[in-house]
Amino acid sequence: MLRSTTTVRVRYAETDAMGITYHGNYLPWLEMARVNLLDEIGLPYRKIEELGVFMPVLEVQMKYLKPTRFDDEVQVHLLIKEKPLLRLSIDYELRRGDDIIMRATTWHAFMNAKGEPIRPPEIWKEKMREVFAKKS
């Protein structure tokens, strides 16, 4: 199991005319949580891309439970339950204080710079072995 928490503060730019965060603007927060997790385990996403490896989003599921508003502080709790093999699935729970405001899952794979599917790079596999050995 791999966990991480990222704090986001709602920008005015992210709200819409309903006075709440536009539903599409949660996806960059999930991205920030992934970037943060990779930093924490010592494998920054920037480094992965420098190897010519990309991890596009294949699928997204988001369930909006409560709206958020300008200046709200939101905790994005990220969880990878199982050691990823060819595909990677990531769960998110977003909280504002005690309120759960969203649950989401994203699915990812690996591709090269031409957009072709590839196997995860060696550096990724080693890191996953390491962090999943340590944690469970």
Residues binding a copy of itself (CB under 8 A):
11-20, 22-25, 27-28, 31-32, 35, 44-46, 49, 54, 56-64, 67, 69-71, 115
Assigned token pair, 129: 């072995």
In the bound state with a copy of itself, the residue whose beta carbon lies nearer, of 87 and 129, is 87
Taking the least distance from each CB to a copy of itself, the nearer of 35 and 79 is 35
Give dist(CA 35, CA 50) in Å, integer.
15
CB of 88 to a copy of itself, least distance (A): 14
Least Å distance between CB 48 and a copy of itself? 11
User: Nearer Cβ to a copy of itself, position 83 or 118?
Assistant: 118
Burial of 110 (0-12, 13-18, 19+ CB in 10 A): buried
Q: Residue 40 contacts by C-beta under 8 Å, 6 or more apart in sequence?
A: 4
Q: Which residue has the tokens 């699915």?
A: 107
